[in-house]
Amino acid sequence: MDSVAFDALEEEAQSRVSPGAFAFCACGADDEISVAENVAAWRGLRLRPRVLRDVRAIDTALTLLGAPARMPIMLAPTGRHRLYHAEGERATARAAARAGATYVLSTNSTVSIEEVAAERREAPQWFQLYMTPERDVTEALIDRLAAAGFTGVALTVDTPVPGYSPRAARMPVEADPAIRHVNLPGAPIARTAYDPAFSGVVAYPTTFRDLEWLARRSPMDVLVKGVLRGDDAARCVEAGAKAVIVSNHGGRHLDTTVTTADALPEVVGAVGGHAEVYVDGGIRRGTDILKALALGARAVLIGRPMLWGLSVNGADGVHDVLAHLQAELVRAMTLSGGASLAEIGADLIAPARIPLPLAGRG
């Protein structure tokens, strides 16, 4: 596997999985503008490196919700990993544990909570939650998670209704009775959010009142995933969230949203240090991670590259992706004059560039 060039890794992943599974991983909503702009926004930011600093030893260790982690890189919640590798989420969890990275398991996992927990080692494990109107279902799930040693619940709030993807519609995922959402009541066959059966269905009508209930009821810290506005972030913290994840769901549901790179500073400012802030969407390089940290994120989450690595080489492939991004981050910190995460600040980001005027006539 070539994890150095993510373009090559993506191409190899495409050759190893079904067309429907790859389309589901790669696609975005409508015209896929947000998918492309998420990546471009990080690349468009410019760094202002410091010089003459002692960078002989680089430290990327930190705490995430109080738990120690080796790197500010987490594995984002993405469902249905058995579409990409026979071991599914168990392989992903094993890779995270080996790297010392936090893994956020999806509600739509195709491997049981307990099997994922068995791979934990010292790395934190969190759970991404889609709430349902049946409170008893959610209560049973969070109690099961706590018993299995999970320490965080990330409530996803940006998909009250699924988006539409023309690419996924052209190459749908064929339902396989052997691949199921095993942690949900009845272990239903794993269908994607783009399945025609879900079109227009308000599946997760979560409100701030639900968040307040979850924060009271959960024995684990509660995060909110899918925030793009400062006012919403502040209300989430008031409702009991310990962290917010700046995310537009990888551009998969509402197209033409603000990019996560653009939304991040506003959310950080609104939270004001009262909660941790993380960000996902379009992170492809160590320099992207450095920029996110400079803009105030405590850590980033990686989605699609994780699935590429999983498709190509299972747990080892996911670990290679994490190791590669960690190595790039260390190199970017060294070249920018920051020996620790505490030394990465907003001064590393250049002010917005002003377009040069076009040459006039005459």
Classify residue 203 by burial, with Cβ atoms within 10 Å: 0-12, 13-18, 19+.
Answer: middle
Q: Is 249 a catalytic residue?
A: yes
Tokens in use for 157? 């709030």
6-15: Cβ within 8 A, 24+ apart:
6/284, 6/305, 6/308, 9/305, 9/308, 9/309, 9/312, 9/321, 10/304, 10/305, 10/308, 12/308, 12/311, 12/312, 13/84, 13/307, 13/308, 13/309, 13/311, 13/312
- Annotated catalytic residue, options 249, 253, 319, 324: 249
Nearest to 124 by CA among 62, 64, 183: 64
Query: How many CB atoms lie under 10 A from the CB of residue 241?
Result: 27
What is the rounded CA–CA span in Å between residue 341 and residue 49?
Answer: 14
Tokens in use for 138? 């959610």
What is the rounded CA–CA span in Å between residue 167 and residue 196?
Answer: 13
Nearest to 173 by CA among 81, 265, 237: 81
The secondary element (H helix, E strand) that includes residue 227 is strand 221-227
**Among all residues, which ones are annotated catalytic?**
249
